[in-house]
Amino acid sequence: MPRQGRRHGKAPTISDVAAAAGCSPMTVSRVINGDSNVRAATRSQVMEAIAALRYMPNRAARSLAGGEQLRIALLFDNPSASYLSEFLMGALEEATASDIHLIVQSCLDVAEAQALMRNLAQGGIKGFILPPPLCDDQSVLDLVSELDAIAIEVGPGKATGSHGAVMIDDFQAAYDMTKHIIDLGHSRIGFIIGNPEQVASGRRLNGYLAAMADAGLDTPDELIVQGRFTYRSGMDGAERLLAVNPRPTAIFASNDDMAAATVAVAHRRHLDVPNDITVCGFDDTAMASTIWPELTTIRQPIREMTAWAVSAIATIMRARKAGEDAEEQRMTMPYSLIRRESDAAPSLATRRPKGAERQ
């Protein structure tokens, strides 16, 4: 966890972020400006410190002469630190490049998010970037309209029609990953569902179920457990799945945090990944390539999605200021299946013929 480094009563500075993250101010600057020569773990610590301190990079001093800097608020309520790191990175990079004053605010629940939105709107902020689960809450989306504001939903699972959105096809991505695991020879595949408050969680579950059904494989209740996109919930889900007899030969978790937790539980049970059990994730956050073995996962372009959202909302806001009609901003981005070291064909000791679990 980042160390506390903020001076009481004062707006946080880049030095405060550096102190909290345990690195130099130069490293913080490199992270904010998108320098690729920063280790993933360090980048994650810096982004966590930025979020915790609510540090707001302000490029007003470098604004174009006579130009008014746009102000956009990014609200988040997401328990996955690795997802959040990528999410904030994309937003900060685009805001820095486009001379946008980005206000980053964390909130514990929908009620706090709504209060923050009202306060920000009173201060002249009329543009909001909303990640899940906030973008999946209809009361939050209704408030955007009530405030005569603009919002871009990032990763909503499905677009609502009332606001701009950027997403991937979560259903098809989960279908493809499940089919990949089946093609390796697995037939008894466990699944850890994501946060039930997020639409994308249901779509990923449905993708898994459809792929299993298309392959003629059953999905008994014991092979599907509820998670919440957190590492802790992934550990709990993996413990339940690996206690089943016969246990699954593969587990597909709805995000990388839960997949990483599954790998840890497997190791604790003296199971080799992937020789004894295949583990796959979703998102391709830094977590996927910093654990051992590295995760096979679906790459959701989180950073690119958030950067697109900042750019899209800025385009709409500038059009409004010019008295022009702004086109609706919608984007479905491509995903990819990234194969690494955590998947393999089932071993002879665990392999079961297709349909065997139905006997």
Sheet architecture: strand order including 336-338:
224-226, 189-193, 250-253, 278-283, 296-299, 336-338
Phi-psi label, residue 22: left if phi above 0, alpha if psi -120 to 50, beta otherwise: left
Task: Give the whole-angstrom CA distance, residue 236 versus residue 251.
Answer: 13
Residue 270 domain flag: yes
Q: Which residues of the chain have pLDDT under 50?
A: 1, 4-8, 59-66, 349, 352-359
**CB burial string 187-212: b at 16+ within 10 A, e below:** bbbbbbbbbeebbbbbbbbebbbbbb
- Beta-bridged to residue 73, according to DSSP, are 103, 128
Q: Assess whether 143 and 203 both reside in one domain.
A: no
Q: Assess whether 103 and 88 both reside in one domain.
A: yes
Q: Assess whether 83 and 135 both reside in one domain.
A: yes
The structure tokens listed for 246 are: 């016969």
The structure tokens listed for 98 are: 């486009």
Residue-level pLDDT at 355 = 39
Question: Which pTM value belongs to this model?
Answer: 0.80
Cβ atoms of 248 and 284 closer than 8 Å: no
Residue-level pLDDT at 217 = 98
Which range marks the domain in which residue 43 is found?
Answer: 14-168+301-334
How many structural domains is the chain composed of?
2
87 to 25, 147, 209, 225, 255: CA distances (angstroms): 21, 25, 28, 26, 14
Task: Give the whole-angstrom CA distance, residue 228 versus residue 100.
Answer: 33
Q: Assess whether 250 and 354 both reside in one domain.
A: yes
Q: Assess whether 114 and 154 both reside in one domain.
A: yes
